[in-house]
Copies of this chain bind each other. A is one copy, B any other.
Amino acid sequence: MRAAILSTGDELTTGRTLDTNANYIADQLLGIGYEVVAMMTVGDFPDRIRNAWRTLFEQADIVIGTGGLGPTADDLTTETVAEMLGVPLISDEATVKKVRGFFELMGREMPPNNLKQALFPQGSTILNNDMGTAPGFRFSLEMDDGPRHGVVMPGVPREMKHIMAEEVLPWLRGLRADNREWLSHTFQTFGLSESALDEMVAGAVDESEGRVAFRAAFPQISVRVTVDGPAETLAERLERVAASIRERLGDFCYAEGETTMEAEVGRVLIAAGSTVAVAESCTGGLIGHRLTNVAGSSEYVLGGAVAYSNDMKQSQLGVSADTLERHGAVSTEVAEEMARGARRSAGADYGIATTGIAGPGGGTEEKPVGTVCIALDREGAVYSHRYRLWGNREWVKLLTSQIALDWVRRAVAGEDPTASAVLKK
């Protein structure tokens, strides 16, 4: 099946917004065996939107579009599709209720133009959106050489991803004419570049057995293997190829399936009945933020300190003035005292600390930008290591938080995190 992706919005054609939707959708389609033959982006102009749909339907059986569903005057996708199909717009009562309810919940007056979001081309199927007010929809049309299907979703990534998972992917799976099924397994990795990963798994899976795809959207660097064929033998074949990849990845794989480092940390902490406290300097709260993005994290995250200034490191975490004086704020010694202070004051099982120079300023000859010290304190043991990271401020913060979270994961597993080859680099 040939698929195409259409992204709509002036913010894309003017370079104001980086389009991550098309990339995400392409990856999802590949996973269920749809080949993306073209991706297109146009601004909020009816003629350009119309041209784009036409162009893509000439090349693909399925066109998946995002954007232009909002309530504002420059959201033109729905009208344009209805016009292309030669059908009127019909108001959907359920959606009207939902939009009204949303604004009542917010205790706000609903701007009348929001009812625009309840209009759909006659005959189209509404795609439910639990994450926002604008549902998506899908439609079909006949062309000389066969049927075509179109999907329209909001451009807000959070909403688009939800609709893709709940409504679009299941439908696309069912749409396939053949009885070929697609099954895939994902490995979450940390510590290797995409190209290094590529080399590591090269040859592990024969082209005829399965297809290996990489995806690097840091901090998510995943390897996915997909097998296809008759449903009966699929699970068994998938496990066979997955096993050979699992063996190659070894310690670089921190979890399997669609998960994240913070979710995995939460899983192992709950399993162990343990708790964690954070002491963040250069990460400024990012580790706590990521840990608490996981539902139920209040079970194992006690809290901690964001100790940006030296005074805070002393008052909040009990770092000694002497240690700060002798080794400087960015040192393994200070990191260790921070980790211990966080763990003890919180009464947690694990204390994780970061202190470093995220840049762009603050670097020195001896401690250049990217110098980061991480420490983990547990009953009877404390670990620390000084890293030399690279990249801009946000990247250093993100990378530091990823390393720190992996330290916690390994410590809960009884490992010495500083002993891991993955984290040595």
Query: Would B307 and A215 count as touching, CB distance under 8 A?
Result: no
Residues of B close to A216: CB separation below 8 A: 16-17, 70, 156
Known: A24-B15, A39-B41. A390 touches B105 (CB 8 A): yes
Copies of this chain, tallied across the complex: 2
A299-327 interface (Cβ within 8 A of B): 301-309, 311-312, 315-316
Known: A14-B36, A213-B14. A284 touches B301 (CB 8 A): yes
* Distance of A373 Cα from B298 Cα, bound (Å): 17
Query: Would B295 and A284 count as touching, CB distance under 8 A?
Result: no
Query: Taking the complex as formed, is A247 at the interface, i.e. its CB lies under 8 A from any CB of chain B?
Result: no
Known: A113-B195, A346-B311. A36 touches B28 (CB 8 A): no
Query: Would A48 and B37 count as touching, CB distance under 8 A?
Result: yes
A255-306 interface (Cβ within 8 A of B): 277-278, 280-289, 291-293, 295-298, 301-306
Residues of B close to A311: CB separation below 8 A: 302, 346-347
* Distance of A362 Cα from B303 Cα, bound (Å): 17
Residues of B close to A193: CB separation below 8 A: 108, 111
Query: Taking the complex as formed, is A176 at the interface, i.e. its CB lies under 8 A from any CB of chain B?
Result: no
- Chain A: interface secondary structure? mixed
Query: Taking the complex as formed, is A40 at the interface, i.e. its CB lies under 8 A from any CB of chain B?
Result: yes
Q: Could you tell me the distance in whole angstroms from the C-beta of A183 to the nearest C-beta in chain B?
A: 13
Query: Taking the complex as formed, is A143 at the interface, i.e. its CB lies under 8 A from any CB of chain B?
Result: no
Query: Taking the complex as formed, is A415 at the interface, i.e. its CB lies under 8 A from any CB of chain B?
Result: no
* Distance of A198 Cα from B362 Cα, bound (Å): 43
* Distance of A194 Cα from B196 Cα, bound (Å): 43
Residues of B close to A23: CB separation below 8 A: 12, 15, 17-19
Interface-lining segment among A51-59, A85-93, A234-242? A51-59
Query: Taking the complex as formed, is A219 at the interface, i.e. its CB lies under 8 A from any CB of chain B?
Result: no
Known: A286-B285, A302-B309. A107 touches B425 (CB 8 A): yes
Query: Would A37 and B42 count as touching, CB distance under 8 A?
Result: yes
A197-248 interface (Cβ within 8 A of B): 197-199, 202, 213-217, 224
Q: Mark A358-402, 1 if CB is under 8 A from B, else 0.
A: 111110000000000000000000000000101111110100000
Interface-lining segment among A71-79, A144-152, A406-414? A71-79
Q: Could you tell me the distance in whole angstroms from the C-beta of A308 to the nearest C-beta in chain B?
A: 4
* Distance of A17 Cα from B293 Cα, bound (Å): 19
Q: Could you tell me the distance in whole angstroms from the C-beta of A77 to the nearest C-beta in chain B?
A: 15
Would you list 8 pairs from A and B whose C-beta atoms are within 8 A, ordered by A residue? Answer: A13-B36, A16-B224, A37-B42, A51-B59, A158-B394, A297-B308, A303-B316, A305-B305
| Residues on A facing B (Cβ under 8 Å) | 10-20, 22-30, 35-44, 48, 51-52, 55, 59, 70-74, 102, 105-108, 111, 113-114, 131, 156, 158, 193-199, 202, 213-217, 224, 277-278, 280-289, 291-293, 295-298, 301-309, 311-312, 315-316, 345-347, 358-362, 388, 390-395, 397, 425
